[in-house]
């Protein structure tokens, strides 16, 4: 149980840090100009980290629930599989929704997809190497 709590906290904090790096860098800011008319002028970082920590606990719990049914004989492979599954349900579905509903440049959508895929794979691999 202690391992679950520690890994969940670490995973959530890592999500927050990765979100900051992925979304606040100058390249991303230029890509995200399309959202400027509807974007907030400031972000509540404390709330953002709180949400990411919550996500860390939920994702780690789901990983443990699915562990035996994930393909692969090692934690690493199971983690990669989990990362791909979560990427499908969070990142890819989000990108397709944006594509259908808004006039968002293709480059922005590709960036969101690739960085989201990377983020979920990193979290999945960490879970795969630390949780059973």
Boundaries of every domain in the chain: 2-130
Q: For residue range 71-129, list pLDDT tens digits in order.
A: 999 999 999 999 999 999 999 999 999 999 999 999 999 999 999 999 999 999 999 99
Query: Global pTM?
Result: 0.88
Token pair 């890509």 is found at 31
User: Residue 15 corresponds to which tokens in the numbers above?
Assistant: 């999500």
Token pair 């972000």 is found at 43
Token pair 């629930």 is found at 65
Q: For residue range 20-53, list pLDDT tens digits in order.
A: 999 989 999 999 999 988 888 888 989 999 999 9
């Amino acid at each position: 149980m202690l391992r679950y709590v520690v890994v969940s906290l670490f995973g959530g904090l890592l999500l927050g840090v990765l979100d900051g790096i992925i979304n606040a860098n100058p390249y991303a800011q230029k890509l995200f100009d399309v959202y400027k008319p509807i974007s907030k002028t400031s972000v509540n970082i404390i709330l953002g980290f709180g949400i990411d920590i919550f996500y860390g606990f939920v994702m780690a719990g789901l990983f443990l629930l699915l562990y035996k049914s994930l393909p692969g004989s090692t934690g690493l492979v199971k983690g990669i599989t989990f990362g791909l599954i979560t990427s499908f349900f969070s990142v890819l579905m989000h990108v397709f929704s944006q594509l259908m509903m808004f006039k968002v440049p293709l480059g922005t959508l590709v960036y969101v997809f690739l960085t989201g895929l990377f983020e979920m794979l990193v979290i999945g691999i960490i879970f795969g190497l630390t949780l059973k």
